[in-house]
Amino acid sequence: MSEIDIKDTKIGVVGAGSWGTALAKLLAEKGFNLDLWAFEQEVKEQINGKRENIVFLPGKKLPENIVCSNDLATVVKDKDIVLIVVPSHCMREVADNLKDFLSKKTIIVTASKGIENKTHLTMLGVLREKLIEIDEKNFAVLSGPSFAKEVAARLPSVVAVASTNSETAKYVQHVFASPCFRVYVNDDPVGVEIGGAMKNVIAIAAGICDGMGMGLNARAALITRGLTEMKRVAISLGSDPLTLSGLSGVGDLLLTCTGALSRNYTVGKRIGSGEKIQDITKDMRMVAEGVKTTKSVYNLGKKLGVDLPICNEVYYVLYENLPVEETRDRLMNRALKHELDGLVDH
């Protein structure tokens, strides 16, 4: 697919948090004129007036070809691609509000990571349920190891875009790809989304591990066994476990479990250091998706009958106030098993 095929692509970005703003900046720097929807009036005024999202992505100059609006219709109407980057708990409401303004031919791309609490649907699942006029082949998900601040700083980043339709995936790949943002295609959107969502739960656990001073051995083991839990869920949902060995699985997992820029890791580390989740989240402007996703994963695991010991213990810490020392001891003293339980027959 040549550059001429995408040069006139009309794009709307829904969500002006740090990640949505970083992706809008990336696309604008490629030359696309795009509209960006912000929920907050102050964010709109900052972007249009000062060319900076001071609230969510301070210090990054935004190109003039980004026009920010608080009106969803303006942002999504007559667009070839609508990129949705809102917190997972807002996805259903936002999709409901924008559905009447979309063209049936619009390609819908989500870069949000999470699993809905009540339905246990991934973000694509929510969008498919609400945007019934959009053909299945026009949905895609973008995910991978990509801190917003680093993407906005044009540091090298590599992600995957997944769709059940290969032409949609390739089209989105070419729209987003740049010299500092490499994009691979994938045909397993559910697996990509499970990786993007569950890694946030494991990142909280990794932060708890480091906050308690349990050492590098423990963190490495926790990341590895966390990946096993991600693969178990993916297999149960009919996805290819190899997807979780890729960018949206291992890649994103390593980043969020070890990087200081990870909000989920930071929340976990503060818990491991003795703080309470209620005190941590009450003053957070930006969402740590793993907190809400933990509840979804816990209930989804029960529904699927999948063994998720690490995710379950994170749930007990966040929602039942179980002491972190007790969760550590329970994990270390579980019944001894085969390493590949739940992954292969043996």
Which residues form the catalytic set?
A: 199
Residue 259: CB atoms within 10 A of its CB come to 15
Distance, CA of 241 to CA of 230 (rounded, Å): 9
- Amino acid found at 287: V
Strand partners for 109 = 83, 140
Which H or E element spans position 222? helix 216-236
Which DSSP helix (H) or strand (E) runs through 142?
strand 139-143
Q: Work out the angle between the directed axes of helices 123-130 and 189-211 (0-180°, nearest 10).
A: 140
Distance CA 38, CA 105 (A): 24
- Judge whether 181 and 22 are in contact, CB under 8 Å: no
Q: Give the C-alpha separation, 104 to 131, whole Å.
A: 9
Residue 244's nearest CA partner among 281, 190, 178 is 190
DSSP classification of residue 164: S
For the chain, what's the residue count? 346
**Residue 184: Cβ-neighbour burial (10 angstroms; 0-12, 13-18, 19+):** middle
Residues 6+ apart with CB under 8 A from 15: 37, 38, 84, 85, 86, 94, 112
Residue with tokens 């819908």: 108
